[in-house]
Amino acid sequence: MGALVYWFASRRHFTPGPLVELAVAGALIASLAAPAGLNAITTPGAVLLTGMLLAGSRQGSLVGNALSAAPLVSVGRLSYSLYLWHWPALIIGKWTIGTSALAVCLCLLVGFVLACLSYWLVERPIRTLRHSVLSALAVVCLLGALWPAFYFTSTIAPAQAQSANNFLPAMFKVPPPPAMARG
């Protein structure tokens, strides 16, 4: 959905002014801070607002300048690795060190370090390889190295975990929904 909004807005040369950019950014932040019960509304809204914000962000615009800041560009380069590593770090951390705020911060830091390592040691070298025997060998070695993680997550971890559904409520202290009254 976000890609469609971006495509449509970029074809129409959608260039909002600074006030519109601030309004869309404010609405996006507000949608992310909305109560959990409104997820069915806020999630598509956040996707649409993000698409609008990215479509309208041109070089020199308020949003374009903010998104081209060095720290955000660095996080953008790591985004796929961060996507891959944040949940495993949080889940393994839950099983080993708990769900306190300090433990969650430590798990996120570990996930960030793993993302940096996989970006520098896996993603960048693979991007520079040409399709050859060497790249095929790299993929085979990578899959062989990841096999213990696949084995752990498919056999050992499920046997030790009570339920993955209990992770977020315990982590963020979200109370369970009230029981439905029968009658």
Confidence label for 172 from pLDDT (cuts 50, 70 and 90):
low
pLDDT at residue 16, as a whole number: 66
Q: How far is it, in rounded angstroms, from Cα 39 to Cα 35?
A: 8
- Whether 179 is in a domain gets the answer no
- Whether 183 is in a domain gets the answer no
Question: Residue 68 pLDDT > 90, yes or no?
Answer: no
Residues 127 and 162 grouped into a single domain: yes
- Whether 153 is in a domain gets the answer yes
Percent of the chain with pLDDT over 70: 68
Q: What is the pLDDT of residues 51-67, one digit of tens each?
A: 777 766 777 777 778 88
Residues 61 and 76 grouped into a single domain: no
Domain edge (last residue) among 33, 67, 101:
67
- Whether 88 is in a domain gets the answer yes
Question: Residue 146 pLDDT > 50, yes or no?
Answer: yes
Domain edge (last residue) among 24, 39, 67:
67
pLDDT (mean) for 164-168 = 49
Place of tokens 């306190």: 100
Average pLDDT, the chain: 75
Total number of domains constituting the chain:
2
With the CA atoms of 144, 146, 149 and 153 taken in that order, what torsion angle do they form, in degrees rounded to the nearest 10? -100
pLDDT at residue 33, as a whole number: 78
Residues 84 and 60 grouped into a single domain: no
Residues 42 and 96 grouped into a single domain: no
Residues 81 and 138 grouped into a single domain: yes
- Whether 39 is in a domain gets the answer yes
* Cα→Cα distances 57→20, 25, 63, 80, 90, Å: 11, 11, 5, 22, 33
Question: Residue 165 pLDDT > 60, yes or no?
Answer: no
**pTM of the predicted structure, to 2 decimals:** 0.54
DSSP 33: T
Residues 78 and 51 grouped into a single domain: no
DSSP 12: T
CB within 8 A of 138, min separation 6: which ones?
Answer: 125, 126, 129
Residues 60 and 80 grouped into a single domain: no
3: tokens are: 């890609």
Of 33-37, 99-103, 162-166, the poorest mean pLDDT is in 162-166
Residues 94 and 165 grouped into a single domain: yes
pLDDT at residue 64, as a whole number: 79
Residues 59 and 82 grouped into a single domain: no
DSSP 37: G
Contacts 24+ apart (CB under 8 A), 55-58: 55/5, 55/6, 55/8, 55/9, 55/10, 55/14, 56/9, 56/14, 56/15, 56/16, 56/20, 56/21, 56/24, 57/21, 58/15
Residues 84 and 149 grouped into a single domain: yes
- Whether 129 is in a domain gets the answer yes
Residues 44 and 78 grouped into a single domain: no
Higher pLDDT, 136 or 182: 136
- Which residues span the domain enclosing 9? 2-67
Question: Residue 86 pLDDT > 80, yes or no?
Answer: yes
Of 18-22, 61-65, 139-143, 165-169, the poorest mean pLDDT is in 165-169
CB within 8 A of 168, min separation 6: which ones?
Answer: 174
pLDDT at residue 62, as a whole number: 76
- Whether 149 is in a domain gets the answer yes
Question: Residue 29 pLDDT > 50, yes or no?
Answer: yes
Residues 79 and 163 grouped into a single domain: yes
Domain edge (last residue) among 67, 87, 105:
67
